[in-house]
Structure 1
Amino acid sequence: MPFPLHLLAMAVFAMGTSEFMLGGLLPDIASDLDVTVGTAGTLTTAFAIGMIVGAPLTAGLARNWPGRSSLLGCVLVFLTAHVVGAATPSFPVLFATRVVAALANAGFLAVALTTAVTLVPSGKKGRALAVLLSGTTVATIAGVPGGAVLGTLLGWRATFWAVAACCLPAIIGILTAVPARRGPEGTADGPALRSELAQLKRPRLLLAMLLGALVNAATFAGFTFLAPVVTEIAGLGELWISVALVLFGCGSFLGVSAAGRLSDQHPGPVLAAGGPLLLIGWPALAVWADRPVALLTLVFVLGALSFALGGTLITRVLHEAAGAPTMAGSYATAALNIGAATGPLIAATTLNTAAGDLGPLWTSGLLVLLALLVAIPARGLIAAGRNSEALP
């Protein structure tokens, strides 16, 4: 894989750490800013909303901008938002900084996704995306648990400062390794914006986006509220939150790596196997959450399944949006973050029910069930790889 792709993954690492780190910080944020854990959970939704709006907006504005300038500007805005977030004593200001950071993250990811698939042959799009998204999975393995430990020892604000510092190597990498040229497809000879937006009328593209949103909603519904499950249900100490996050991250790295190998030519088996296993896995985690060994094992497995399925669906979106070369990355980003926004919102409503801290896990299972109910009757709409074979 091209070296610039790995440098883009460095920036994705910093942004992925920020996106996922709240799973281990919500109790401390809620206590410090005098809000409920459910209210603090809306910070995840705020980030997702920014991603949803920012992906198509930034991608559309930056169609003819120099790629390096677009990526650099997004990283600088992202860094500034975390500095403000680390210093503020106000929850509304923190909420606003999450939206701004997400707008920058979305713009970066939309441009980076489009850039990544143009650096490799068509048949290696899945592998290129796996390299880029490895920044997110490494964030869940190292960045997020490290942030949780840092938050436990020094407070949640220290984690925000650390994320801001992680942006500095990414800035250097963009300046030194990304060519100072117009976007990879953003030329006057490329498709008109109206033509690219018209791709959203394609049933296969809409189906892939919908399934990606539902799977990501399930992932974020359970992951966002994992910390109280570890400490309150399993009865483990706060540092075990970091262990659970590491295991989820290791599973996600395994899952996205497998998806990178299979999603170009054989997406069918990944989707056909991963969906039912996730449907079993989330309720199983809810049932056995009070057993630490079972909890930690299932966290690893669910990380692998969630990212294998999600990574495959990202690749399907980009394949189906081939007629929108500058906007395809934004379609994938927006779809996944619609899920990231709605999942925690739905899950938060279950915290004050009889299900309590286990409510988000049951919510994840129901969202996966909904995805399967959509996918099974419509499976023939999704083309499998370059040969457009129908899914089994």
Structure 2
Amino acid sequence: MLLLPFGLVLAALRRRFRRQSELAQGRAVALHEAVDELVSHLDLWRTFGATTRVAHALESTGKVAVSLAARVEGARAALSGANEVLGALALLACVALAERAGATFGDGSLVAFAAVCFMAYRPLRDLGDARAWLERGAVAHDALERVMTEEPAARPAAGPARDWTKRRGVLELRELGARARGPRSSVSVMPGRSLALLGANGSGKTTLLRTLLGLEPATGALEYDGVELTHAGVGPEARPFAWVPQDAPLVTGTLLENVALACGEVSRARVALAELGADRLLARAGERVGPGGTPLSGGERRLVALARALATDLPVLLLDEPTEGLDEKSRARVLAAIAGLRGARTVIWVTHDADVAALADRVLSLDPAPALAAE
């Protein structure tokens, strides 16, 4: 009876330790995913000039993960100390029961008894510590099992900084292509018009987008509003392009923070969502998304990425396979959002779907060789 209250406290400590371990494991997974998003899409953050803001979001997630890990270690230390106190109480209880039964301790028998108990205690303490690590391992194993059973789903020299947000000019490509690979393309796109880059997989569509962004060394000539950009640097101060990649990455934070990631202003992020008619996303603006947060559908992720690009106020949007992998409903929403940009932004999108390409003002087919379709 003497040990029962202490045993109950110990059981409560163990439950708390397991809960903290589960939280810490979840945060560790979220941190790993956040790092993966940062590294995997570093080129995207560079084109937005948003690497510092992304790093801050990552730092915030890391601090929470460290805090939870510290709590787990605190609970583990408390559990280990509780095991030691419980062992001492057990020894006292044994002595008290022996005396009540009439046993006498003499000739060093009590000392010998205590020595034997303390010799046995060390393995018992190690067993208690091992149980704590076993709890952490069980949580990690459960998390790994969930993951395993899920369905798989050279820098140019910087030029002068420019404010592109107020400029609406003609985009000129003259035999432009990546220096080491891909086709050479020539086309003029008037302000507010759209161009579809049509071609099969491997025809060089994404490579051409990366060349426009300065992520691939270029050959030929690229101009916007009369400004030579062929060898300009990367980012919104060097080029007038806002990029929406196919996988539409998110970072840990609220939905609105993800939209504002490129522009740094929440007010502009709200306006961008409103311009796209994304009222449902606006209503969820404060929800936590990204690694460790509420999952978004493929269509919702594309709309977030499109709003992120729109919020920059950069005049040319580059969209990489904007409808790839979406169901019919999500596809229609994304295409409607793109159609709503007609006249306001120059839009260039990559697709291998002739029906999607037909929605553009002009179509540049890259397969088998670059050729403009008649307007």
The TM-score range, normalised by the shorter chain, is: under 0.3
Higher-Rg structure is 2
Q: TM-score, normalised by structure 2?
A: 0.24
Q: TM-score, normalised by structure 1?
A: 0.23
Q: Which has the higher strand share?
A: 2
Q: Which has the higher helix share?
A: 1
Identify which of structures 1 and 2 has the higher relative contact order when contacts are C-alpha pairs closer than 8 Å and 6+ apart.
1
